[in-house]
Amino acid sequence: MAAKYERSVIQVFGRPPFLPLEEHAKKAVISAGMLKKTVRAYLDGDMEKVELMAAELGKIEEEADYIKQTIRSGLTSSVKLPVDPKLLLNFLSEQDIIINDARNAAYWMKLREYRELPPEIRGGFLELSEKTEETVKKYYTLIEKLYKLVTLSFSKKQIVEAFEIVPDIEKLEHDTDKIESRLHKQIFRNQETLRGAGVCHLTELVEKIGDLADRSVSSADALKTMVIRR
């Protein structure tokens, strides 16, 4: 490559971590949406589609990992951030788990096939995956809002306002919890037809899907800790 005849001050501007953080959060929303579709295909018995979707989720997870590594490598000790880098990394790994959870749930579906599930369990899973996606989406609106504030030299008041979304996320997570426990009961009610392995597999699947909502809440908490302690 030919040498550039340029001297510039550009080196003083470290790699800003907030832009890739938002990109990473976007992956979480995409994963949650895709998981909902995977659940639908699974309930329809379309294992081919489930396989495809699981592979796709694995790819998204890899892309998210790449973004995570980029952010991490930009945090050398000479780079000064307006937030504690430890808290930033903590928040990042929480957000990353949402994406991992989606991949894990899809993987779990690949393991066992059902010829036909009782309609109440079917409905429960559809409802659960929808509510989970809704929770992650809500979480993403918080990220979006904060990202805009960061780029526009935000005020403390505006930040506090942005975090008013957090109770909404918690409410949605609470709703998914309720769906989860209802589903658990229905699974055990059908233990004769589902048999031991089926019960075991389905209760675990409920947990795995619900994990996305749980992680959205803890991710929002980690984000709050990072920003408020600024």
Partner 1 sequence: METYLTAALLLAGFYMAWNIGANDLANAMGTVVGTGALSIRQVIVLAAGFEFLGAVFFGQRVTSTIAKGIVPIDLIGNQGEIGTQMVVLGMLAATLAAGLWVTLATFYNLPVSTSHATVGGVLGFGLSTAYLGAIPFSAINWPVMLRIVTSWFISPVMGAILGFSLFVLIRALVLHRVEGDVEKYFVPLQVLTACYIAFAHGSNDVASAVGPITAAFTAFGIIGKEVPDWIFVFGGLGMVLGLATWGYRVIETIGSKITELTPSRGFSAQFATASVVLLHSYISLPISTTHILVGSVIGVGLAGGLSSVDLSVIWKIFFSWIVTVPVAAATSALIFLGLEGVGV
Chain residues in the site for partner 1 (CB under 8 A): 3-18, 74, 76, 78-82, 150-157, 230
114/147 with CB nearer partner 1: 147
Cα separation of 75 and 88, whole Å?
A: 10
Q: Least distance in Å: CB of 106 to partner 1?
A: 34
CA 152 to chain centre: 26
Q: Least distance in Å: CB of 151 to partner 1?
A: 7
Cα separation of 43 and 73, whole Å?
A: 41
Cα separation of 149 and 145, whole Å?
A: 6
Q: Least distance in Å: CB of 226 to partner 1?
A: 12
- The widest CA-to-CA distance across the chain, in whole angstroms, is 77
Cα separation of 91 and 224, whole Å?
A: 9
156/195 with CB nearer partner 1: 156
79/200 with CB nearer partner 1: 79
Q: Least distance in Å: CB of 77 to partner 1?
A: 9
The CA dihedral of 169, 205, 99, 56, to the nearest 10 degrees, is -130
3/197 with CB nearer partner 1: 3
